[in-house]
Structure 1
Amino acid sequence: MPWQRLETLLHPLLARLGPRFLTRRAVWGMALFVIAVAIMALDFLPQKLDLTVGQPSPRDFKAPQGIVYESEVLTQKAREEAARQVAPVYRVDNTVVASLTGQVDSIFQSIREINNSTGDANERVARLKERLNQFKLAPAIIQALATADSGTINNLANATKSIINQVMGEAVPQDALNTARDKMLAAVETSGIDARYRPLVAALLRELDLKPNLIYDVAATMQKQEKARAEVVPVQVTIRQGEKIVSDGELVTAEDIEALQKLGLLRTGTSWGGFIGLILFQGILVALMLLYLRFFKPDIYGDNHLLLLLGLLWLIFLVFSRGVVAISLGGRPDLARLVGYLMPVAAGSMLVAILLDAQVAVIFTVFLGLEAGIISGNYYQFAAAGFISGLTGIYCVAHLSHRSDLARSSLFLMLANLLSVVALGLMLKDTLFQLSIAAGLALANGLLSTVLTIGFLPFLENSFGITTAVKLLELSDPNHPLLKRLLLEAPGTYHHSILVGNLAEAAANAVGADSLLARVGAYYHDIGKLKRPYFFIENQVTPENPHDRLAPTLSTLIISCHVKDGLEMAREFHLPRVIQDIIAQHHGATLMSYFYHKACENSRDEKEVAADDFRYEGPKPQSKEAAIVMLADSVEAGIRSLPKATPGRMEGFIRKIIKEKLEDNQLEASDLTFRELTVIAEAFMRVLNGIFHTRVEYPEVVVKEIERRKNRNGVLHKQSAG
Structure 2
Amino acid sequence: MTGWIRRICKRFGAPAVLIGISFVTTIMMFGFLYDTIATDTYDVELFQLSHETIRAAKTVEDPVRTERERERAAQEVQPSYRFVEEISSNQATVVESLFRYVYEAKQAVTADEEQEEPEPANYDSALTELRESIRLLEQNENGLQLTDDMLLSLLVLDEEVLLRTQRQLRNEVLSVMQEPLRESGVLQARNDVEQSIRQNDQIPASAIAAAVAIARANIIANEVINEELTEDQIEQARASVEPTRILQGQVLIQEGQLIDREVYRQLELAGMTEQRSNYRPGAALSLFVLITTGLLLLVVQSSKVDGIKKAIRLTIVFGVILMSLSIMKLLELISGNFDVVIDFIYPTALAGILVRLLIDERTAVYVTVLLSACAGMMLQSGYSGVFQMDAALYVLFGGLAGIYLIRSGSRNIHILPISLAVGGVHLLYVAFYLLMNQSQYTSSEVAFYAAAAIAAGLLSGTLATGLLPLFEAAFGILSTMKLIELSNPNHPLLKKILTETPGTYHHSVMVANLSDAACEAIGADGLLARVGCYYHDIGKTVNPQYFIENQSHGNLHDQLPPEKSRDLILAHAKDGAAILRKHKMPKELIDIAEQHHGTTLLKFFFYKAKEQNEKLSEKQYRYDGPKPQTRENAIIMIADSLEAAVRSMKSPSPEKIREMVDSITEDKLKDGQFDDCDITLKELRKAKAVMCETLNGIFHSRIAYPEEKNNGGRKPNADD
| TM-score (normalised: structure 2) | 0.62
Partner of 1:89: none
In structure 2, distance between residues paired with 1:676 and 1:649: 22
C-alpha distance in structure 2 between counterparts of 1:20 and 1:639, whole Å: 47
SS of the counterpart of 2:496?
helix
Distance 1:49 1:470, change over 3 A: same
Q: Secondary structure at the match of 2:552?
A: coil
In the alignment of these two chains, the number of paired residues is 521
- 1:279-318 → structure 2 map (5 Å cutoff): 279-296=286-303, 299=306, 303-318=310-325
Does residue 599 in structure 1 map to residue 609 in structure 2?
Answer: yes
In structure 2, C-alpha distance between the alignment counterparts of 1:699 and 1:383, rounded to whole Å: 73
- CA distances 1:34-54 after superposition (whole Å, capped 9, x unpaired): 4443333333566476999x9
Per the alignment, residue 658 of structure 2 pairs with 651
With over 3 angstroms needed to count, the CA separation of the structure-2 counterparts of 1:643 and 1:402, relative to structure 1, is closer
- Please name the residue that 1:362 is paired with: 365
Query: What secondary structure, in the 3-state scheme, does the structure 2 residue paired with 1:326 have?
Result: helix
Relative distance call for 1:370 and 1:533 in structure 2 (3 A) is same
Letter in 2 for 1:572: K
Question: Where do residues 220-239 of structure 1 align in structure 2 (5 Å cutoff)?
Answer: none
Given that 2:14 and 2:311 are in contact with CA atoms closer than 8 Å, whether structure 1 keeps it comes out as no
Task: Give the distance between the partners of 2:713 and 2:331, measured in 1 at CA.
Answer: 72
The residue aligned with 1:43 is: 36
Q: CA deviation at 1:369?
A: 1.3
Q: Which residue of 2 aligns with 1:394?
A: 403
Residues 566 and 43 (structure 1), Cα distance of their counterparts in 2 relative to 1, 3 Å cut: same
Does residue 457 (structure 1) correspond to residue 450 (structure 2)? The answer is no
Unaligned runs of 5+ in 1: 5-18, 64-69, 82-228, 708-722
Match of 1:692 in 2: 699
Q: Which residue of 1 aligns with 2:150?
A: none
Map 1:470-485 to 2 at 5 A: 470-485=481-496
Match for residue 626 of structure 2?
619
**Are 2:36 and 2:377, in contact at CA under 8 Å, matched by a contact in 1?**
no
- 1:352-501 alignment to 2 at 5 Å? 352-377=355-380, 378-397=387-406, 399=408, 401-402=410-411, 404-431=413-440, 433=442, 437-501=448-512
Shift of 1:312: 2.0
Q: CA 1:560–1:659 in 2, change beyond 3 Å: closer, same or farther?
A: same
SS of the counterpart of 1:397?
A: coil
Could you tell me which residue of structure 1 aligns to residue 560 of structure 2? 550
| Bigger shift: residues 519-528 or 246-255 | 246-255
User: Does the CA-based 8 Å contact 2:368-2:396 persist in structure 1?
Assistant: yes
Q: Are 1:569 and 2:593 matched, yes or no?
A: no
Residue type matched to 1:489 in 2? E
RMSD of aligned residue pairs (Cα, Å): 4.7
Whole-Å separation in 1 of the counterparts to 2:265 and 2:332: 25
Counterpart-to-counterpart distance in 1, 2:38 and 2:242: 33
Unaligned runs of 5+ in 2: 5-11, 71-238, 381-386, 715-720
Distance in 2 between the 1:625 and 1:299 partners?
16
| 1:454-489 deviations in Å (ceiling 9; x for gaps) | 111111111122111122222212222221111111
TM (norm. structure 1) is 0.62
Contact 2:30-2:286 within 8 A present in 1 as well: yes
Deviation at 1:640, TM superposition (A): 1.1
Q: Report the alpha carbon displacement of residue 562 of structure 1 after superposing the two structures with TM.
A: 0.7
Query: For residue 354 of structure 2, what is the aligned residue in structure 1?
Result: 351
Alpha-carbon contact 1:56-1:252 (below 8 Å) kept: no
**Cα deviation code 1:652-704 (max 9, x no counterpart):** 32222222222222223332222322222232233333332344445656974
Partner of 1:581: 591
State the secondary structure of the residue aligned to 1:370: helix
Query: Would you say the 8 A contact 1:421–1:438 is kept in 2?
Result: yes
Instruction: Pick closer, same or farther for the CA change 1:270–1:452 going to 2, 3 Å.
Output: farther
Q: Is the 8 A contact 2:252 2:263 kept in 1?
A: no
Residue 319 of structure 1: CA displacement?
1.0
What's the counterpart of residue 513 of structure 1?
Answer: 524
Counterparts of 1:130-149 in structure 2, within 5 Å, are none
Whether the 8 Å contact between 1:60 and 1:244 is mirrored in structure 2 is no
Q: CA deviation at 1:621?
A: 0.9
Provide the rounded CA distance (Å) in 1 between the counterparts of 2:575 and 2:520. 29
Structure 2 distance, partners of 1:480, 1:49, is 65
Identity fraction in percent: 33
Give runs of aligned pairs for residues 261-276 of structure 1, distance below 5 A: 273-276=280-283
- Distance in 2, matches of 1:685 and 1:39, equals 57
Aligned amino acid, residue 675 of structure 2: E
Shift of 1:393: 1.8
Contact 1:310 1:352 in 2 (8 A): yes
Query: Matches of 2:487 and 2:500 in 1, distance apart?
Result: 18
Cα distance 1:436–1:486, how it changes in 2: closer, same or farther (>3 A)?
same
Paired amino acid for 2:404: Y
Q: C-alpha displacement at 1:410, in angstroms?
A: 0.4
CA distance in 2, matches of 1:296, 1:26: 16
Whole-Å Cα distance in 1 between the matches of residues 325 and 390 of structure 2?
18
Structure 1 distance, partners of 2:358, 2:47, is 54
Residues 60 and 247 in structure 2, CA contact (< 8 A), matched pair in contact too: no
CA distance in 1, matches of 2:494, 2:589: 14
Measured after TM superposition, the shift of residue 444 of structure 1 is 2.0
Verify the 8 A CA contact 1:351 1:453 in the aligned structure 2. Answer: yes
SS of the counterpart of 2:414? helix
Task: Tell me the distance in 2 between the aligned counterparts of 1:348 and 1:22.
Answer: 25
SS of the residue 1:466 aligns to: coil
